[in-house]
Amino acid sequence: MDDSHTRRGQPCWYKIPKVGIIAVNDGVVLRNHIPRVLKKHFREKAYYVDLVDLFNEVEFQTASGQMIDLITTLVGEKDLSKYSLSTHRRIVQYKTAYYSFYLPVACALLMFGENLDDHVQVKDVLVEMGTYFQVQDDYLDCFGAPEVIGKIGTDIEDFKCSWLVVKALELANEEQKKFLHENYGRKDPATVAKVKELYHTLNLQGVFEDYENTSHEKFIKSIEAHPSKAVQAVLKSFLGKIYKRQK
């Protein structure tokens, strides 16, 4: 959907010869395997209906987040004035946080006989963790090495509502803002390099490092406030997998 060329070190499926637009139907087929898998393995379980409802709700949230992401980057309608931290947060919360972080833990809670309404605190921590994960992704898209992160970053060319450009707009002077408005989203490699140069000038690497350290402290405080040591262990396990990640 965003014209990317690679994912996890491999060419995107639609870029494979003889696949192309058929990739859309392949995606539909894969999506339809979700209820089939759930039915095959969990149909007789007491939590089956709740599990199906959970997957349906998270799919809706993810598709909504992707939609918000795509409509903020419509070709011919490039307007950086719509980009803010609140817009970025809304996109990443729905596009990434729910399915990547909340869904697996919510599944485990249901399978353990828990009511998800009793675990709002867990949900809040996981959604925040997912937001932090996407901010890392935005950072690595620009500053990460393609051979390490497994993809070639295109957020600048694609006019994405990235955490980096949002922070740059916050920190930039009027001349720098004018430059971003005129050059962000252009496909020219030389222009992309100049945008990255501005990011360096604004010390976005240092800004990100501060954000990462502050976020980690907040996560630890929130996690350790939970009464269950087992839940704490799960949440700390998640945090340990992503803190300071390089890919």
Compute how many other C-beta atoms are within 10 angstroms of the C-beta atom of residue 27.
13
Q: How far apart are CA 27 and CA 16, in angstroms?
A: 14
Query: In the predicted model, what is the mean pLDDT of residues 95-122?
Result: 95
What is each CA distance from 54 to 62, 99, 108, 109, 113, in whole angstroms? 12, 10, 12, 11, 14
Polymer length of the chain: 247
Q: Mean pLDDT, the chain, as a whole number?
A: 93
Tokens of 182: 């005129």
Nearest to 194 by CA among 207, 176, 170: 176
pLDDT at site 76: 59
Distance CA 34, CA 60 (A): 14
Region 38-43 average pLDDT: 98
Which residue type, as a one-letter code, is found at position 210?
A: D
pLDDT score at 75: 58
- Over range 76-87, report the average pLDDT: 84
User: What pTM was computed for the model?
Assistant: 0.87
Q: Are 247 and 144 spatial neighbours (Cβ–Cβ below 8 Å)?
A: yes
Strand partners, 34: none
pLDDT tens-place string over residues 218-246:
999 999 999 999 999 999 999 999 998 88
Confidence band, pLDDT 50/70/90 cuts, at residue 211: very high
Q: What three-state secondary structure class fits 7?
A: strand
pLDDT tens, 177-187?
A: 999 999 999 98
> Checking phi first, is residue 159 left (phi over 0); if not, alpha (psi -120 to 50) or beta?
left
Mean pLDDT value of segment 121-126 = 96
Separation of alpha carbons 126 and 199, rounded Å:
29
Stretch 10-32: mean pLDDT: 95
Strand 6-7 and strand 10-11: the pairing is antiparallel
Tokens coding 226? 């939970």
> pLDDT category, 99, cuts 50, 70, 90?
very high
Sign of the CA dihedral with 159 first, then 165, 166, and 171 last: negative
**Rounded-to-integer distance, Cα 206 and Cα 154, Å:** 22
The backbone torsions φ and ψ at residue 161, rounded to the nearest 5 degrees and listed phi first, read: -80, 70
Q: Among residues of the chain, what percentage have pLDDT more than 90?
A: 82
Q: What is the band of 4 on the pLDDT scale with cuts at 50, 70, 90? A: confident
pLDDT at 68 over 70: yes
